[in-house]
Amino acid sequence: MSFFRNRKRHVQHASHHTHDVMLVRKIHRRTFPSVRQFLSIGIVLGRFERLVFFVSVFVFLVGLVWGSTVLSARYRVEVPAVGGTYVEGVLGSAQLINPLFSSLNDVDQDLTRLVYSGLVRYDAQRRPVPDLAAKYDVSEDKKEYTFQLKQNILWHDGERFTAADVVFTFETIQDEKTQSPLFVTFQKVRVEAVDDYTVKFILEEAFPSFISSLTVGIIPGHIWKDIPPDQMKLAKRNLQPVGTGPYRFGRLVKDDNGFIHRIELKRFQDFYRTPSFIENFVFEFFNEYEGPNGLVSALREQKIDGMNFVPFEFREKVKRKHIELHTLHLPQYTALFFNEDKKIVEDKDMRVALSYALDKERIVHDILENEGNVIDSPVLEGFPGYMADLKALAFSADEANKLLDSSWDRISAEDYKIFLAEKRISEIVASQTPPAQENHDEDVSDDEVTGEESDTNVASVSDEEGNSSTSTIDMEQIRNQAEAEVGSTLNDAQLFYRYPKDGNKDDILELKLVTASTPEYTKVAELIAGYWQDIGMKVNVYLVDPKDMTREVLRTRDYDVLLFGVIIGSDPDQYPFWHSDQVDYPGLNLSHYVNRSVDELLGKIRGTDNPEELNTLYIDLQNILLEDAPAAFLYAPIYTYALTDTVKGFDIERISYPADRFSNVFQWYIKTKKVWKWWQ
């Protein structure tokens, strides 16, 4: 019995052992407690065991969060992400978003820079590098430029870019009917397509800086080929452009008056370089800087994110917490161009006298608040031939008067006012006297006409039939009217005027000063007019809307003196501004200056890339310009760009044109994301 009892116990023990093993194995296969098991912890564990368990869980979670944070901070980085909208405010409006015409309008240049691409572009160091081209070669004699184009580049409408588009672009520029301002640059250049992706430019004469001309945007031949050259400026495509640039045209918004006040560009996903990060690039156009609907107010109220150019007088108003002002080095200068085609300034002594009378230091101090540098030459710092110690004319009203006194007599402001008033009285009396009076001069004495002895005169007049009548003239009223009219045409601050020696006082020394109606130029023109009034010159200042400058001023050359800003660009070439074949529009010889020695110098400059020779030639050019005085060079201003701090990636310090601020636009970004370092 004992044996069987022990045997039974042994079997029961083995059975329990087997059950325990099976239970352990079952639990072991579950690597993490189920929800039901986790909720039963309070029943299974004791009070102390529960405390230990929850403390352990807390420590584990804190360690997990801390470890993740350390790993993320060490191995994850913030990078640009696609998205966001940038809105830039611009004074003016778009006219021709076409690289063949855009050089005459800064707004058009901004837009074409984003929509179109050229064969070459400038990098951050302002060096020309291939863009649409993969590479290029220059012949030994500098007369042939061969470009190998990148393949698989798409136009915004999906068509392929080829050499045919390049040839079409430059042949269209060379067609006089197109009236492109780039005509002169390429008129002696032959362009041909070697194959679908190879283009060759052949020059008649070596032009070392020719490569800088090829930054001009290429237009699509398949879109423009059916439009006659003389109709291109009227084509709708000028406001609905198709290019190969980082942004494509989205939409255009006009107001009820037809004014374009908004253009929206969209990120071009198939851009041949790195596509841009910012999704939408928007331009808002304004008619004025100040006022409730002005550009400055829009920026301060955060309706826009940037401002293309901040005039010095608005910089303090523009500053706010999230706006950064970028000061960019731009090769530009402001000058007074004397139109030598006009009689009043064709004499060199007159131009020199006007130059002597200018206090440039005061202009920069009072108007620009020292945000600019006084200059005496069109050759700026950093370019070949620049001379800091150029022997220019120093400000001297005495020297100016000495030159003018040799050919012009003086008349005091009071005497001149009396002269004009008496002349006007005679005109008014003549206009109020009946025509029949002409045959009966004996009826009215000289005293009665001039009103010297009578305030009211009565003239007896007989008509052809012998009937007589009387005409009453109120001389006091006429005199008051004449003096008021004369007074409105004269500046009370002017002390004297000038007229030709042995000449008529009617031929007063008077000139027409024209400039753009911007705040800066308006103030500068008023100050200059004051300087010239101090030497006896009557100055009529005409202010022209900036968007009309090309049509009303540059095209017609309707001015005696033009106050204007010139952007030299990356190429120091002065040919467009001073060569005699540039005197007519679209040439930029704004002084109508003709000097064969200068023409020869400019030709030599274009034909050499020897630094020492260039330096010598530019020094010679400056000396001749200083001697001839076709212009009075005033100052080189500073270019300030306002940009919201939400836009990252802007890294530009030097620009050749205002549109160059977009040189690295494909690196700008608003949105960001974090990625692991090894996934970059």
Identify whether residues 128 and 224 lie together within a single domain: yes
Return the DSSP state at 118.
B
111 and 233 together in one domain: yes
Q: Rounded to whole angstroms, how far apart are CA atoms 680 and 676? A: 7
> Does 283 or 25 have the greater pLDDT score?
283
Angle between helical axes of 596-606 and 611-628 (0-180°, round to 10)? 160
Residue 15: exposure state from Cβ atoms within 10 A (0-12, 13-18, ≥19): exposed
Please write down the long-range contacts of 178-184, taking CB distance under 8 Å and 24 or more positions apart. Answer: 178/100, 178/229, 178/230, 178/232, 179/230, 179/233, 179/586, 180/100, 180/101, 180/586, 181/101, 181/103, 181/104, 181/586, 182/100, 182/103, 182/213, 182/216, 183/586, 184/576, 184/581, 184/582, 184/586, 184/587
Same domain, 158 and 265: yes
Name the residue among 213, 380, 308, 381 with its Cα closest to residue 661: 308
Range of the domain at 4: 1-31
The pLDDT, as a whole number, for residue 241 is: 96
Tell whether 549 and 623 lie within a shared domain: yes
Whole-number Å distance between alpha carbons of 568 and 641: 19
pLDDT at 392: 85
Q: Provide the β-strand partners of residue 337.
A: 562, 631
Q: Which of 341, 213, 329, 246 is nearest to 660 (CA)?
A: 329
Q: In the prediction, which pLDDT does 426 show? A: 81
254 contacts 235 by C-beta, under 8 angstroms: no
* DSSP 3-state of 122: strand
Burial class from Cβ neighbours inside 10 Å (0-12, 13-18, 19+) for residue 76 reads middle
Together in a domain, 342 and 399: yes
Give Cα 512 distance to the centre of its chain.
26
**565 and 453, same structural domain?**
no
pLDDT higher than threshold 60 for residue 471: no
Exposed, middle or buried, 207 (CB in 10 Å: 0-12/13-18/19+)?
A: buried
Q: Bigger pLDDT: 455 or 360?
A: 360
Q: Are residues 135 and 158 in the same domain?
A: yes
What are 585-644's pLDDT values in tens digits? 878 999 999 999 999 999 899 888 888 999 999 999 999 999 999 999 999 988 899 999
* pLDDT average, residue stretch 319-337: 90
Structure-token pair, residue 39 = 């909720």
Average pLDDT of 293-309? 93
Looking at the structure, do residues 192 and 137 belong to the same domain, yes or no?
yes
Q: What is the mean pLDDT of the chain?
A: 86
Q: What local confidence, expressed as pLDDT, does residue 198 receive? A: 97
- Whether 485 shows a pLDDT value over 90: the answer reads no
Of the pLDDT bands very low, low, confident and very high (cuts 50, 70, 90), residue 77 is: confident
pLDDT confidence of residue 445: 43
- The pLDDT value recorded for residue 52 is 76
* 497 alpha carbon, distance to own chain's centre: 39
287-294 long-range Cβ contacts below 8 angstroms, 24+ apart = 287/91, 287/259, 288/91, 289/91, 289/314, 289/519, 290/314
Taking the C-alpha atoms of residue 464 and residue 497, their distance in angstroms, rounded to an integer, is 47
Q: 211 and 194 share a domain?
A: yes
User: Which CATH number covers residue 238?
Assistant: 3.40.190.10
pLDDT band at 42 (very low <50, low <70, confident <90, very high): low
Q: What is the largest CA-CA distance in the chain?
A: 181
Write out pLDDT tens, residues 163-183. 999 999 999 999 999 999 899
Same domain membership, residue 436 and residue 300:
no
Hey, is 508 helix, strand or coil? coil
Q: Do 548 and 521 form a contact (C-beta atoms < 8 A)?
A: no
Question: Any idea how long the chain is?
Answer: 680
Angle between helical axes of 397-405 and 348-356 (0-180°, round to 10): 160
Residues 3 and 66 in one domain: no
pLDDT-based confidence at residue 502 (cuts at 50, 70, 90): confident
Nearest to 534 by CA among 566, 560, 509, 559: 509
Of residues 607 and 364, the one with the higher pLDDT is 364
Q: What are phi and psi of 131, to 5 degrees?
A: -125, -85
Nearest CA to 191 among 170, 162, 215? Answer: 170
Hey, what are 2's tokens? Answer: 């004992």
* Residue 126 pLDDT: 74
Tell me, yes or no, whether 25 lies in a domain.
yes
Whole-number pLDDT of residue 482: 78
Last residue within a domain, chosen from 81, 116, 144: 81
How far apart CA 370 and CA 232 sit, in angstroms, is 43
Higher pLDDT residue, 484 or 298? 298
Query: Is 72 found in the same domain as 91?
Result: no
The answer to whether residue 495 is domain-embedded is no
The CA distance from 668 to 303, in Å, is: 20
pLDDT at 563: 97
Q: Is residue 494 part of a domain?
A: no
Is the model's pLDDT at 97 over the cut of 90? yes
Q: Are 614 and 608 in contact (CB under 8 A)?
A: yes
User: Considering the domain boundaries, does residue 496 fall inside one?
Assistant: no
Cα–Cα distance measured from residue 221 to residue 556, given in angstroms and rounded to the nearest whole number: 32
Alpha-helix runs per DSSP H in 106-189: 106-115, 163-174, 183-186
Residue that is last in its domain, among 47, 81, 115: 81
Give φ, ψ of 353 to 5 degrees.
-60, -45
Mean of pLDDT values over 395-409: 95
Specify the pTM: 0.71
Mean pLDDT of 57-64: 81
| Of the candidate ranges 108-117, 169-178, 446-455, 464-473, the one whose mean pLDDT is the lowest | 446-455
Q: What is the pLDDT of residue 12?
A: 53
673: which residues sit within 8 A by CB, 6+ positions away?
Answer: 78, 79, 81
Question: Roughly how many angstroms between the first and final C-alpha of the chain, as a whole number?
Answer: 82
Give the pLDDT mean for 228-240: 93
**Rg of the chain's alpha carbons, rounded to an integer?**
39
Structural domain contains residue 232:
yes
Closest CA to 239 of 257, 256, 264, 218: 264
Residue 136 to residue 151: CA distance in whole angstroms = 14
* Residue 463 predicted with pLDDT over 60: no
| DSSP β-ladder status, 247-254 and 260-267 | antiparallel
Cα–Cα distance measured from residue 113 to residue 641, given in angstroms and rounded to the nearest whole number = 17
* pLDDT at res. 497: 95
Map residue 339 onto helix, strand or coil.
coil
Task: Please answer whether residues 98 and 219 qualify as being in contact, where contact means their C-beta atoms are separated by less than 8 angstroms.
Answer: yes
- φ/ψ of residue 327, rounded to 5: -95, 115
Q: Does residue 567 lie within any of the structural domains? A: yes
Distance CA 260, CA 122 (A): 30
Q: Please say whether the beta carbons of 237 and 224 come within 8 A.
A: yes
The answer to whether residue 248 is domain-embedded is yes
Rounded CA separation 167/220 (Å): 10
Structure tokens at 236: 């709708």
Number of domains in the chain: 5
461 belongs to a structural domain: yes
